[in-house]
Structure 1
Amino acid sequence: MALDWDAFRFVKAVAERGSLTAAAAQLGINHSTAFRRLTALETKLGARLFERLRTGYAPTACGQAMIEAANRIEADVTRFERTAAGRSETPSGELRVTAPTSLAVELLMPILADFGDRYADIRIELILAEAALNLSRRDADVAIRASRDPSETLVGRRLAAVAWGIYGRADRDYGDLASEAWVSPDPTVAGGTFMRFVGTQTTAERVKLRINTVTGLEAAIAAGLGIGPLPCFSGDAHPALRRLSGPHPELGTDLWVLTHPDLRHAARVRVFMEHMAEAILPLRPRFEGQGEES
């Protein structure tokens, strides 16, 4: 019995979404088309793929077997795409780059502008996300990531140490920092490292705001909501802020540029990683909390 990839992809979407309506929206078809496709597929197989429950569509044993096959097919297709992409010899084509939102405005845009001037045949898709995207699934080709211990499944290079300090408004005087109002990253940022640090500096009652992005944290401190931790490369450069203490070694991390091993020899990936290393080198003192670059 011949089944094409679309059939497997369709069943996988229904299982992941739990309903025909949501799966249809994901696949860009309407509900009636999805209903007809599922009915025709079950008729062709002579078996039910899903139990229709009030809570949604639950896969049967046959449906689960098809979903597992779909996962294997998807993994094989992705592996082939990485292999094919890694054999490109000229720096051209689309390059998917992911980076934390906090790096975009001050750091990345000038570097990307220079890169675009050098390599006009490479088109960049920039994905700003605080969460780490999966490079094995090709959610991105290259990741610029702050990490103390990057994944062993990736390859790349360390660009700089990233120092953190405590910052407040430049136009205010501060006394005992523990008695000041604070703002803090929430538990989703760096696995809660910064939130735990704030907990060692002041009481829970003094924390007036928790937020899930470093960019939002900087804006909150600049607005006067409270003092809080920031990476020195951005805090030192902000005209409305001044450093109150630090750098604090327990908050330090490293900036990496990473890719999947299958892609490291692709020309567009290689030249981008080299360009990032070249661009970051003169900025290292700023990342390390030594002030503006010369």
Structure 2
Amino acid sequence: MTDATAASRARTRLTNAAVPLDDFRLVRAIASARGLAGAAATLGVNNSTVFRRLAQLEATLDCTLFERRRGGYVLTAAGEEMVAVADAMEDAASGFLRKVEGKELAPSGELRVTTNDGLMGMLLTRIIGKFRRRHPQIRLDVVVDNAQLNLSRRDADIAIRATDKPGETLVGRRIGRIAWAIYGRRADFPDSTGAHAPELCARASWVGLGGELSEIRAARFVRDQAGGHDQVGFRVNTVRSLADAVIAGLGVGPLPCMAADMNRELVRLSPPHNDISSSLWLLTHQDLRHAPRVRAFMDFVGGELNRHRPLIEGEAPWTPQE
């Protein structure tokens, strides 16, 4: 059998057989040391182990990888091809490690993010826009839903969620408290200082939340403040539509400060109410926390939300340049 025929047969065997990666390292070590003793020292095993593994590998490939000469082990054509493959794998592995260590491995792929309509306002949309410009290789699929998608079932990769109970299998960071206050249409309250008089609650028409949001704190707050149902003339099942109702002059109502303070048509009529606030969390499943695209989103969006924490907590107004 010629060297060319042996090399061809080895290629066929490598294609059809499951050859462990360690066998490529074995052949490379023997070739580098020109013998079994040097390869055994490199690999941290004894001579008999190297001899046995080489014999098994040559039997599997049905070809000779080394010629045994007086001066040591010399590669055959088939052995040279196997060492070339081992060198290519070593180069690829080294390049990958350099990229990881130098943080050159760009996050990419699809990322599914869920949040609710009360949070997915102008602020969060702007932050996500900045993230996309920073990481154009990450494709975002944002699901705006008041129902909480299940991260454990991989309905979404990341949740931006208002909750005081984030879940035991989830990890992430707490940004702060989402402040809520009473708002009205600026045209109806041009002189408001943000501290409404108690009589406002007694005489105002209110708008509130209904449907699947009818039992959240803000919905119960409206029922308590309005003294029942008679003064609540309009209910809607999304926070965005609730803000639209206040802007349209249908009544006053509670809104998250991080959204309402950014709207020039709305004016704050009260200080934030602690009894309707909740924590803002940026969450992912613990099995996904080290994925590059997840880590990139968590770090960037978390940092931006922290920068806007005074707005989120109702302590500082938003300015357009932000």
TM over 0.5: yes
1:101 aligns with 2:125: no
Instruction: Structure 1: state its 5+ residue gaps.
Output: 1-88
Residue 122 to residue 152, structure 1, CA distance change in 2 (3 Å)? same
Q: Give the aligned partner of residue 228 of structure 1.
A: 253
Per-residue CA distance 1:219-278 (angstroms, 9 max, x = gap): 000100110000111112211111111200101111111011110111100110001111
- TM superposition score normalised by structure 1: 0.66
1:195 partner letter? A
Specify which of 261, 268, 271 is matched with residue 246 of structure 1: 271
**Cα distance in 1, alignment partners of residues 314 and 138 from structure 2:** 33
Count of equivalent residues: 206
**Cα distance in 1, alignment partners of residues 275 and 136 from structure 2:** 41
Q: Give the aligned partner of residue 123 of structure 1.
A: 139
Specify which of 128, 148, 151 is matched with residue 135 of structure 1: 151
Per-residue CA distance 1:66-85 (angstroms, 9 max, x = gap): xxxxxxxxxxxxxxxxxxxx
**Cα distance in 1, alignment partners of residues 222 and 121 from structure 2:** 26
**Cα distance in 1, alignment partners of residues 232 and 299 from structure 2:** 41
1:205 aligns with 2:246: no
Q: Give the aligned partner of residue 98 of structure 2.
A: none
8 A Cα contact 2:121 2:259, kept in partner:
no
Secondary structure of the equivalent of 1:176? helix
1:5-44 to 2 correspondences below 5 Å: none
Secondary structure of the equivalent of 1:95? strand
8 A Cα contact 2:177 2:279, kept in partner:
yes
The structure having more radius of gyration, on CA atoms, is 2
Q: Give the aligned partner of residue 186 of structure 1.
A: 210
**Cα distance in 2, alignment partners of residues 214 and 90 from structure 1:** 36
2:164 partner letter? R
8 A Cα contact 2:107 2:135, kept in partner:
yes
Q: Give the aligned partner of residue 182 of structure 2.
A: 166
Q: Give the aligned partner of residue 281 of structure 1.
A: 306
8 A Cα contact 2:178 2:277, kept in partner:
yes
Residue 170 to residue 111, structure 1, CA distance change in 2 (3 Å)? same
8 A Cα contact 2:178 2:279, kept in partner:
yes
**Moved >4 Å (runs of 4+):** none
8 A Cα contact 1:187 1:195, kept in partner:
no
2:110 partner letter? E
User: How high is the sequence identity, in percent, across the aligned residues?
Assistant: 45
Shift of 1:139: 0.7
1:153 aligns with 2:188: no
RMSD: 1.7
Shift of 1:124: 0.7
Stretch deviating more after TM superposition (150-159 or 168-177): 168-177
